[in-house]
Amino acid sequence: MKNVTATDPYLVDEASAAKVPDGFFRKLKFLGPGFILSASVVGSGELIATTTLGARAGFVTLWVILVSCLVKVALQLEFGRQSIITGVSAMQMMNRLPGPRFGKSRSSWGVWAWLVLWVFKPLQLGGIIGGVAMILHMAVPAIGVGGWTIITAMVVITIMLFGYYELVEKISLFFMGIFIVFTMLALFMVQKTGFAITLSQLGEGLSFRLPRGTVGFALAAFGLTGVGGDEILSYNYWCIEKGYARFSGPCRDRPEWKRRATGWIRVMYLDAFLSMIVYTIVTAAFFVLGAAILHQRGEIPEGYAMIETLSRIYTDSVGPAAKNIFLAGSFVVLFSTLFAALAIRTRVFSDLFGVVHWIDFSNLRVRLRTIRILAIVFPVLWTIAFLVVRLPVLMVTIGGIATFIMLMIVVIAGIYFRFGLKNQILQPGRFYNVALVVSCIAIIMVGVYGIIRLF
């Protein structure tokens, strides 16, 4: 595996400091972390969980999707801001949370909770790798779904073993862009069919009601759509590897450092907000297509028929010829999710293993070796999960609920990092503070409301 950058991206020194680019267009070349997150959530969250929720509940739960996409970005910004100011990786930040500490390493409860909750995450990625296998089986029936699952895992492993940040970024952006264009075309074309979306249906979706039978799927969709708990935490790593922390230089209580760090934080804000616009539009499009077409047809994506059912949102809007385009598009977006998800999990868990003293994360050679090993282990676990369970929608839903719990941990961490840490050299403005508090309250309220409706 090649080095993630020419130097260790997690090593911040004065020599790495760089001038902040001037002007909007010059800043665009430094964007990327937010769009990698978008690529990682479009597959499981948007294509599967969001469309399934629309198919089950109809338009009434549109508000869940919109709130999910809009309110989490403030938390994402806090994790990105901390990465630029401190240059510290996310799991090391989580290890600073107050409260109980466990194990010989005396690591924070937040770190161990993350490790425990991750036990359920292979189900989510197993559902996605199964979705890719189903698409390939439809294209080449001579090889069974199980065989394609194993082949897909091997391809993902091979790419990851020779990948680095820039490759992850480019592949993610390319795959995501293709499917976004086609999805927006389907949304436009559906208005020319009997499934045309009306203003009254959209109004129903903003009524803030949650039918009891859809609570579990709504919570899963809330956890998965937009940026989930694991994506918010992951943003820290991509900001560091993009170079935002190194370009700012070591944290110093000096005017020149404050100006430089503030400038790179603004670049990070632009990255996060532009990516939020993209994934909000795409998420809403997937949802309304599922609600308009699948809900009216009474078809729910389930089991091995998931891909065939999902293809209805394109064949019934664009025409029968769109099925092959959908299969190609869903393949690239699901594969992109696998690739981006594997890339970040290898980093998060290498960091976590360092926090609990299983490896030395600061040693570049040890870290890269651990990333290589995990790049093999994770796809194997996802493959086993799918071949055992074989219910991709259920697997993604369970993973989504685990992601929602992770989101609650991220809320606690975000509030602590912003308001609990003392002697913070660089303070954000009042609007930022208000937005972060509102974001956290909204996330908690949705969770409480969902639990009340569930019981």
pLDDT in tens, 326-335: 777 677 777 7
Confidence of residue 4 (pLDDT cuts 50, 70, 90): very low
Q: What is the mean pLDDT of residues 237-241?
A: 91
Considering the chain, what percentage of its residues have pLDDT values greater than 70?
A: 85
Secondary structure letter of residue 304 according to DSSP: G
Between 442 and 146, where is the model more confident?
146
Q: What tokens does 20 get? A: 């902040």
Measured between alpha carbons, how far is 337 from 128 in angstroms, rounded to an integer?
A: 8
Report whether pLDDT(43) > 60. Answer: no
Which among 54, 43, 46, 47 is positioned nearest to 298, based on CA atoms?
54
3-state secondary structure 16-59: HCCCCCCCHHHHHCCCCHHHHHHHHHHHHHHHHHHHHHHHHHHH
CATH class of this structure's domain 14-454: mainly alpha
Between 412 and 306, where is the model more confident?
412
Residue range 243-253, pLDDT digits in tens = 999 999 998 88
Which among 287, 238, 187, 189 is positioned nearest to 84, based on CA atoms?
238
Confidence of residue 172 (pLDDT cuts 50, 70, 90): low
Which among 287, 282, 323, 276 is positioned nearest to 184, based on CA atoms?
282
Lowest mean pLDDT segment, chosen from 22-26, 57-61, 312-316: 312-316
**Tally of CB atoms within 10 A around 226:** 29
Report whether pLDDT(151) > 70. Answer: yes
pLDDT of residue 269: 94
In the block, residue with structure tokens 């977006």? 333
Average pLDDT of every residue of the chain = 82
Between 226 and 367, where is the model more confident?
367
Spatial neighbors of 34 by CB under 8 A, at least 6 apart, are 76, 235, 271, 272, 274, 275, 276
Please answer whether residues 352 and 91 qualify as being in contact, where contact means their C-beta atoms are separated by less than 8 angstroms: yes
Report whether pLDDT(5) > 50. Answer: no
